[in-house]
Amino acid sequence: MTELLIAETESRGEAGSAGRAPAVVLENLGKRFGSGAPVLEDINATVRQGEFVALLGASGCGKSTLLNIISGLDVPSAGALEVPEEGAAFMFQDSSLFPWLSARGNVEMALKLRGVGKAERRVRAAELLDLVNLGHSMDKRPHELSGGMRQRVALARSLAQDRPLLLMDEPFAALDAITRDLLHNELERVWKETGRTIIFVTHNVREAVRLGQRVLLLSSRPGRVVAEWDVSDEHRTDPGAAGALTADITARLRQEIRKHA
């Protein structure tokens, strides 16, 4: 099964997910807090199973609010959505690890909440930490780990929830550029090995192009999907093509910011 999932996710372009069943469907979705202005309005989007979608927008455009709605942490004020019955795992910008537990203990906690037995928890936690290349540090506590290593533990903990959908809210924003690039490689490898559907929120255009099969752009408030780009294999292998796409997206993002300045 793993080999099949890897094969299915090898293509970075839209062809890699064409024909697959939808994992997330948003229809005319809106969100308003109290009597204030809408935060989100008429959001329409479909994310297919096994797809990696980057959600891009300026600060305050409602990206995190949209993730909260998809995860079930919040409810929309208008419209409808479909998500996997099993729900979603969430990975935040802050690793939010329990400081008194080791890396393995933090992952085991997620497994314990799922009802996994003690012996199986220990084995499975070790496997997940190996998957994120932290098998050698599984007995260290968070204060003994670098920021990048803590985020790897957080990723392993998210995978331990065994949900088909993984929501990531700017998980690498606080890291330095070199560490962030290394974790981009790790995340891409883990995505291919697990076949998860991933929605990755960022305000970094380069990061969106580096990771996503598709990039969706939200306007400033109220947040709407105003543009969409496919990221092809050429963008992955040709720096010139990647640079041109990044410049195109950046120009459109700046245009949206100016509209609402």
For residues 11 and 136, state if they share a domain.
no
Write down the pLDDT at residue 17. 63
Write down the pLDDT at residue 93. 86
User: What is this structure's pTM?
Assistant: 0.89
Is 102 a residue whose pLDDT tops 70?
yes
For residues 158 and 181, state if they share a domain.
no
For residues 156 and 108, state if they share a domain.
yes
Which two structure tokens, joined as six digits, stand for 37? 């202005």
Output 136 or 18, whichever has higher pLDDT.
136
Question: What CATH number is attached to the domain comprising 78?
Answer: 3.40.50.300
pLDDT one-digit tens code per residue, 131-166: 999 999 999 999 999 999 999 999 999 999 999 999
pLDDT one-digit tens code per residue, 196-232: 999 999 989 999 999 999 999 999 888 999 999 999 9
Closest CA to 214 of 230, 203, 191: 230
Average pLDDT over residues 52-67: 91
φ and ψ of 22, to 5 deg: -65, 140
Write down the pLDDT at residue 259. 77
Write down the pLDDT at residue 261. 63
Write down the pLDDT at residue 69. 95
- Residue 3, amino acid: E
pLDDT one-digit tens code per residue, 109-127: 999 999 999 999 999 999 9
Residue recorded with tokens 């990048």? 148
Counting the structural domains of the chain, the total is 2
149-178: burial string, b at 16+ Cβ within 10 Å, e else: bbbbbbbbbbbbbebbbbbbbbbbeebeee
For residues 64 and 22, state if they share a domain.
yes
Write down the pLDDT at residue 145. 94
Position 81 in a domain: yes
For residues 174 and 124, state if they share a domain.
no
For residues 16 and 144, state if they share a domain.
no
For residues 79 and 7, state if they share a domain.
yes
Residue recorded with tokens 């003994």? 144
Domain ranges, residue 152:
99-162
Is 15 a residue whose pLDDT tops 80?
no
Lowest mean pLDDT among 102-111, 135-144, 251-260: 251-260
φ and ψ of 76, to 5 deg: -75, 155
For residues 149 and 175, state if they share a domain.
no
Write down the pLDDT at residue 12. 47
For residues 168 and 153, state if they share a domain.
no
| Mean predicted lDDT score pLDDT of the chain | 89
Sign of the C-alpha dihedral computed for residues 120, 122, 125 and 127 taken in this order: negative
For residues 137 and 175, state if they share a domain.
no
Contacts 24+ apart (CB under 8 A), 161-164: 161/89, 161/110, 161/114, 162/86, 162/114, 163/84, 163/86, 163/87, 163/88, 163/89, 164/23, 164/49, 164/84, 164/86, 164/196, 164/197
For residues 138 and 39, state if they share a domain.
no
pLDDT one-digit tens code per residue, 26-36: 999 999 998 88
Closest CA to 132 of 93, 111, 104: 104
Position 65 in a domain: yes
